[in-house]
Each structure stands twice: as structure tokens, then as C-alpha cells.
Structure 1
Amino acid sequence: MRLLPVLISAAVAGSIASATPAHAGVTFDFHTNTGFADAEDVRQGLGWDAAKLRTEAPKLTFKHNTRVTETWSVTCDDGRPFEAERIEQSMTEFLVAAVTYRPGGTEVAGFRITGSDMGMSSTMAPFLPDVTCPESDHGKTIRSSRQLATTTTRYLLAEAGTTSASLAELRTGPEVGE
């Protein structure tokens, strides 16, 4: 499976909480943005029948989303420390994919993903002293904060309008909320 290079690279970079394809017929390398999504896995993920997939296949889009989540110990006006999470960075890479067909040319076999053609990213400021407390029942202002953990989660998504399906996931770092 093409996830093996991702697993090895991630193991060298840090701890791995999980690295699994959501579906068996999906192979995707999160570092090169290349792989293959089997038609049956895409169809099931989107809740479609074979006829709907055949009709909609040329319009499907694929994205590689990355979310970096941080867990912090925060102390506000009341002096009681608590854990707070924030999405430090959110990134989307728009992937280039081509529909592949089974012999005969009418039945969709899957989608060959050959890279990305553009992306976008957003970030948030950390929990800093003298800014608004993230939980109002602890007071109005942060007095101190300390970062506890960072988790990076990457997803391969198939999208059709407002419907999407997660086809593969790679997580490095601890589970968020632990």
C-alpha cells in the first residue's frame, strides 16, 4: 500500500497515533499528493449508487486537508488552570484527479490522483497572556498559558457539491482531547 512511505516518514518525524485509510481500495501518499481512490470506496463514501457515480464522476473534486490542533493549559482571572484546544493551522490542497474506467469505457474504476494544483491556509494566534479567556466562566483575561501537545491530522476527501467523504487519514501526535 502506498501509505507505507507515509508511515515510515511520519515515524521518523514523530509519534503516530493512527495512519489508516478509511477504505481498503484507497492508496494515497500525503507527502506527494498522489495515489488512487477506488470507485467503490468513493461511491460508498458519498452514499451513491453506481449510476450516480458514473454520471457525477467527471465533476468530483479531491482535497488534501491538514489540521494542526494544539492543546494548552490556560489560567485566566479565577486562577484555576484548564485545558483548551485551538486549531493552530488549517490547510487545503486542491488535487488533480482523472477518472479511470474499466475495459469497455463506461464503468468507473476509480480516480488517479496526480498531485495538487493550488492550496490555501489559515492560522490562529496562540493563547497569550492579557487576551480574552477562551472560557468565560474562568474570567475575562488569560493570565498564563503553556502548550501541552500538538496533533496534525491529514485527510483525503472526495467532494461533490456540499457532500464529502473522508477516504484516508493520517494523524501524528496524541489524540485531540486526551
Structure 2
Amino acid sequence: MLPVNETYGPWPSSGEIDLVETRGNDVDYPAGGRDIMSSSLHWGPTPETDSFWRSTRGRALRRTDFSKGFHTFGIEWSKDYLFTYIDSPLQQVLFWSFDKDQTMWQKGHYEGVAVNSSLVKDPWSQTGNPNTPFDQPFFLILNVAVGSTNGWFPDGKGGKPWTDVGQAASDFYSST
């Protein structure tokens, strides 16, 4: 999910919510196959400071995988918390509390952080809300991504026929 407006600036300063991300690989794929899903919040003053790694959680299905049937992926979102779930709110994947005594700037430990020798600025300070940038309307986005060069499919694992630094089209052609 992406914000309707870039209220606090370009990605990720206005936020992103990944309700569900999963791979279609076999369940024995070393980086996680079609039996594992994750949910993430992306937030930070710059792309280099995206704190998704602080707010990503995963869940594995037991004795089955996502290709064996239909599932419901949900989100419950208020000014106090956000959580995602699979099939029932009782099966939470990600729970994130918007604490009244700590802003997202503070949760990200951004004070004193520099990018390209410049201190990053708090894009959310004007609101005073602990849930900023997740205090605005977001669009639901549905997409199917194929491959990647951002580490989602790690190099050297599971027979991946390309490298993240390679020329993907050429690599695919050469692997046949």
C-alpha cells in the first residue's frame, strides 16, 4: 500500500505498507518458498535510511503452502497500532504499536544520522503524531513481481540464474 499523497516527501518518508510478500519457489528454497509470507512497513527520511528491517515480520504455514488453497490476508489499522494477519485476526503476522511517547523518528533512531555527509531531517516533526507517516490514506496496490536484483532472491542460493549486479536479460538468455 502506498500513500494517496506524498504528504511527507518521496518514498519512504510518506510510508509504505506491504501487507503480504511471498515467493513462488518450492518450500525448500533456502530464502523461503511459497509456504512463507511477510509483512513490512517502510518508513524513513531517505531511501538509504528505510527502517523496514525494524518492522518486518514473517509467518510460515505448517504442512502446506500458499498454492494449496485460498487465503485471506488482512490489516487492522488505527491511530494506536497496525497489524496484519492471515486467515484470521488471531493469526497475526506483524504487530506495530504507535506509542504515544515515541515518534517514528525516535523509533528509527535517526537523530544524528547522515546521508552523503548531511544530517537527515525529520520529515514528520510538524504533525506531533506518533503514527506519522501512517496517519494518512493509502492506496491498495496489487502486483506480481518476477525476479529482482535487490536481494529478495539472494545470489548463489537455490539455482538463481542471474546475479543482482548482472544484466538480467543477458543472464537469463545465457542460462538456457
Q: Same fold (TM over 0.5)?
A: no
- Which structure shows the bigger proportion of residues in strand conformation? 1
* TM-score, structure 1 as length reference: 0.29
Using the size of structure 2 for normalisation, the TM-score is 0.29
**Larger Rg over CA atoms:** 1
Larger relative contact order (CA 8 Å, sep ≥ 6): 1
